[in-house]
Amino acid sequence: MNAYVFPGQGAQFVGMGLDLYEGHPQAQELFERANEILGFSITDIMFEGTAEDLKQTKVTQPAIFLHSVILSKVLGDAFQPDMVAGHSLGEFSALVANGTLNFEDGLKLVSQRAQAMQKACELQPSTMAAVLGLEDKIVEEICNGVDGIVVPANYNCPGQLVISGEVAAIDVACEKLKEAGARRALVLPVGGAFHSPLMEPAREELATAIDNTNFHEPNCPVYQNVTTKGVTVSKEIKENLIAQLTAPVKWTQSVQNMVADGAKSFVEVGPGKVLQGLVRKIDSTMETSSAQLG
């Protein structure tokens, strides 16, 4: 069985999507439609902008979504997922890929999500940190013992967990994690505490938008960040997507469940190869590749 996986924020690169635009009329049409929906020329920033331009949350998230979704559409009949999953933002790409959301609705939600997250980031100094070389349980216990808000946010693969929260609490947690034997506890260059309780204002704003969007029954299961199980009921998918902004991304557990349910190969659709690396660390027997055209 083929599992198709979709990357999240951080996979962007200068010039992303230009080959798709230049090589495929269908891609060109979808990119132009995206410029109309967003009300600014995201293609200019994707194709010609600097790395700094691409780093703005309101640009990064739609750019990665567009790269992934347009690539999956251009693949045509070669795109045949038996199951899908996306890392954080990538879950929206996965939901367009399996027919739960249409292209326009998916893009609008991603744009609203990015703006809501940006606003939430500005309310309070917050950040995230990558913790390497410790068991998840130890990281969880240390976070629980720190004053202030600091929580596990991304279970990326065994021995790699990202924590999220208030700046002061993250600093204290990093010190304690190093004392406990972490190989690294490194504050990340992000503007906010994604997948933590500090995203509650964004979750509320996005919940309204998601509630007002038409979700269809998917053509294959999506393994969602919040529950890690394959879901095929649109009502459940909606609830999990609303919960996602303040809940941790359980990527390790999702991949393990996809393997248990019969996945034999993982194809990453979109920019970068981060998810392939994580999948191999979670289960070294899996075949991984990037979605390729022709």
> Cα separation of 285 and 107, whole Å?
35
Residue in the block written with tokens 């998916």: 106
> Cα separation of 172 and 165, whole Å?
11
Same domain? For 44 and 31 the reply is: yes
Predicted TM-score (pTM) of the model is 0.95
Same domain? For 57 and 86 the reply is: yes
Same domain? For 90 and 27 the reply is: yes
Query: What type of residue sits at position 85?
Result: A
Same domain? For 94 and 238 the reply is: yes
Query: What type of residue sits at position 105?
Result: D
What's the token pair of residue 280? 């191999």
User: For residue 266, what are the β-bridge partners?
Assistant: 3, 288
Same domain? For 45 and 117 the reply is: yes
Boundary-marking domain end, from 136, 168, 187: 187
* Residue 86 · residue 228 · CB < 8 Å: no
Helix (H/G/I), strand (E/B), else coil: 35: helix
Does residue 192 lie in a domain region? no
Q: Which residues are catalytic?
A: 88, 195
Domain extent, residue 80, equals 2-122+197-290
Along the chain (294 residues), what's the average pLDDT of each consecutive run of 10 residues? 94 93 97 97 96 87 97 94 97 98 98 94 92 97 97 97 97 97 92 93 95 97 97 97 96 98 97 96 96 81
Same domain? For 22 and 154 the reply is: no
Helix (H/G/I), strand (E/B), else coil: 137: helix
Same domain? For 171 and 207 the reply is: no
* Residue 155 · residue 250 · CB < 8 Å: yes
Q: Can you say how many angstroms the Cα of residue 243 is from the centroid of all Cα atoms in its chain?
A: 14
Domain holding 37: CATH number? 3.40.366.10
Same domain? For 230 and 136 the reply is: no
> Cα separation of 221 and 260, whole Å?
14
Same domain? For 47 and 149 the reply is: no
Same domain? For 97 and 206 the reply is: yes
What is the count of structural domains for the chain?
2
pLDDT for 292: 86
Same domain? For 117 and 143 the reply is: no
Boundary-marking domain end, from 187, 210, 232: 187
pLDDT for 294: 62
Same domain? For 236 and 92 the reply is: yes
Query: What type of residue sits at position 155?
Result: Y
Domain holding 170: CATH number? 3.30.70.250
Does residue 26 lie in a domain region? yes
Helix (H/G/I), strand (E/B), else coil: 12: coil
